[in-house]
């Protein structure tokens, strides 16, 4: 079911032509900065992978991948990627990328089961990145250091936008705030996970929520996460489990917590076995990706995705992702957006 946030008295700061210029500036500038910050080289990514290999991202485990038969391969079915979380790790191994270096790519996907609205589209575009790391770096401190490096790229991009379009004023704080999902639950015990994110991000403006995917103190998850890429069960130095998380900004147009990135330290063999068992998915150990990981032929890594349209939407102060990208929307949403002065591409 689609849902539309309706900002009051919305008046786009930029024209359609200015918006296109802004999108181009942001994408070119940010990916260059991200590459420099994390020492990443650009690679070419697939739009689809073979079904049954375990390479496609399982997301929350319920989303259906768009798929089709391949005539010249006996109608073997291919799936449009949900993301490239596992493919990137295979690519690090194939390219022999050294420790401390990594890759990034433009990921394009179709997610037919998305709930369409201001933040979600059928079409997903993001920078997917992955970097080789050591066993000693599998710590919460290392995770935080990578988050801070990414945030530095966000700050520089925000400055570029404000210089290019003076009517858009910077709003991100100098530092990003870290909090574990369990700490967030204890801080707001009567609220839902999304409500907790909203209240905390309203105060701190830029937040990284740690530990997403595993059960919290009340037995519930903050949010779903596939069991075979991010490590959400390893216990860190503070006694709380989780080496992954989400970057959230306070969106001044929609007045809500706005996710721009999901990322984390990836599972090692022990975490993979543990999380597959917890989720009742141990049968995946027969798949190509999981066999490679269990046998130790894939490097330890940290990685994530950063939404391209999401980032442009935030920095250009847009109320709907359809003001950034061309997609398909319900007829009623088109009508409502016209009334709200939201011009969908």
Catalytically active residues, by annotation: 57, 111, 126, 246, 259, 262
Angle at 181 between CA 178 and CA 183, to 5 degrees: 80
Which pair of tokens denotes residue 236? 């860190």
Taking each helix axis from N to C terminus, what angle separates 16-38 and 308-315, rounded to the nearest 10 degrees?
120
* DSSP classification of residue 233: S
Q: Which alpha helices (H) appear in 39-176, and where do they start and end?
A: 85-95, 140-164
Burial label, 106 (beta-carbon count in 10 A; 0-12, 13-18, 19+) = middle
247-269: b (≥16 Cβ within 10 Å) or e: bbbbbebbebbbbbbbbbbbbbe
Can you say whether the dihedral through the CA atoms of 87, 258, 101, 124 is positive or negative?
positive
Nearest CA-CA partner of 235 in 265, 205, 194 = 265
Q: What is the dihedral of CA 128, 133, 136, 141, to 10 degrees?
A: -40
């Amino acid at each position: 079911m689609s849902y539309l946030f309706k900002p009051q008295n919305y008046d786009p700061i930029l024209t359609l032509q200015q918006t296109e210029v802004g999108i181009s500036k942001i994408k070119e500038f940010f990916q260059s900065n991200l590459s420099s910050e994390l020492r990443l080289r650009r690679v070419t990514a697939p739009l689809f992978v073979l079904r049954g290999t375990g390479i496609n991202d399982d997301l929350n485990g319920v989303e259906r991948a768009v798929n089709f038969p391949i005539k010249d391969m006996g109608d073997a079915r291919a799936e449009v990627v949900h993301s490239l979380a596992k493919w990137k790790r295979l690519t690090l191994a194939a390219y022999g990328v050294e420790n401390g270096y990594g890759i990034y790519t433009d990921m394009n996907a179709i997610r037919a089961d998305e709930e369409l609205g201001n933040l979600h589209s059928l079409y997903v575009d993001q920078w997917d990145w992955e970097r080789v790391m050591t066993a000693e770096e599998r710590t919460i401190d290392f995770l935080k250091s990578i988050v801070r490096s990414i945030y530095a790229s966000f700050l520089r991009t925000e400055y570029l936008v404000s210089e290019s379009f003076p009517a858009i004023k910077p709003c991100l704080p100098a530092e990003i705030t870290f909090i574990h999902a369990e700490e967030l639950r204890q801080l707001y015990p009567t609220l839902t996970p999304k409500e907790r994110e909203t209240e905390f991000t309203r105060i701190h403006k830029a937040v990284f929520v740690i530990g997403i995917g595993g059960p919290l103190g009340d037995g519930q998850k903050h949010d779903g996460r596939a069991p075979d890429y991010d490590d959400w069960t390893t216990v860190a130095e503070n006694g709380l489990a989780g080496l992954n998380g989400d970057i959230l900004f306070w969106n001044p147009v929609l007045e809500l917590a706005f996710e721009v990135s999901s990322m984390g330290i990836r599972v090692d063999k022990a975490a993979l076995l543990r999380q597959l068992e917890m989720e009742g998915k141990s049968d995946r150990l027969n798949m190509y990706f999981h066999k490679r990981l269990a046998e130790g032929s894939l490097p330890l890594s940290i990685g994530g995705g950063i939404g391209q349209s999401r980032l442009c939407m935030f920095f250009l102060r847009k109320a709907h992702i359809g003001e950034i990208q061309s997609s398909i929307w319900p007829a009623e949403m088109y009508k409502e957006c016209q009334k709200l002065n939201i011009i969908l591409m």
